[in-house]
Amino acid sequence: MSHSPSASVWSPSPQTPPKPYPQFILFGDSITQMSTAGLLCPLSERYNRRMDVLNRGMSGYTSRMGLDVLRHWFPSRPPSDNLTPQVKLMTLFFGANDATLPGCPQHVPLHAYTGYLRDIVNHPGIASHDTKIILVTPPPVDEWQLGDQERTASNTRAYAAACRQLGRDLGLPTLDLWTMFMTKAGWREDDDDRQKKPLIGSKAAPRNQVLADLLSDGLHFTPAAYQIVFDALLELIQTHLPDYVPDKLPFVYPDWKDQLGVVSALP
């Protein structure tokens, strides 16, 4: 068994303060809620003994709903009290429901969507934890698979672009799933302007099997899609948040070889 980098010996006693695990929280809608097998478990394996990875995905939620519930579950105390785990990383992944068309119950206007995301990023609790936020754009939709008329490929594209722009404005690392999925499906940035091609995923374009293989019902992810998210998320952390790469983080509690002498000395 390998040693964790810079893990320090921990000497438990009745006077020793608690040592909670720091947290990596996945915050979003049903795409996050349904990510246990495809994202939560692989991340938990990579961050094992270093951070707890928690799922705070809530099916059907929009950015507005996310902001409303944040104060109920995000730790109200700063991590300096030795009782509250520090939320070190958090993905912020809303927009798939916000992008439903006007008149639909979940619709959030585009300007309000970015405003709610901004309010979540600037939440006092997040500031007190010095949480590093990773924005995630809504993915494309496949109108050919959708059974309703509440979402369109072009409208979702606008919300993804707004999320990307917010990331640039706030200087936040942003996981651009819309562009990743669409590029795999054959889309190119100059398609619309130069070739006047209909947008992949819309019913004006032919069915796209690559996109269908990523979206199980036109909206939610297949295992292949979650694998893309997992790989891209770790790459983003490596590039933009290198201090949080799993192998660079110490164990919360030391390696058993380092701890052996301490435990032997206990009464």
Task: Give me the sign of the Cα torsion angle 143, 144, 145, 150.
Answer: positive
Q: Measuring CA to CA, how many Å separate 46 from each of 35, 49, 53, 133?
A: 15, 9, 10, 19
Q: Beta 174-175 vs 23-28: how paired, if at all?
A: unpaired
- As a whole number of Å, the CA-based R_g of the chain is 21
Cα–Cα distances in Å, from 206 out to 166, 177, 190, 198, 262? 32, 21, 18, 9, 66
CA neighbor of 231 nearest in space, from 188, 195, 182, 177: 177
Q: How far apart are the first and last CA of the chain?
A: 27
Backbone angles phi, psi at 221, to 5 degrees: -95, 145
109 closest CA partner among 177, 48, 62: 62
* Residues acting as catalytic residues: 30
CA angle (90 as vertex; 98, 178 as ends), nearest 5:
45
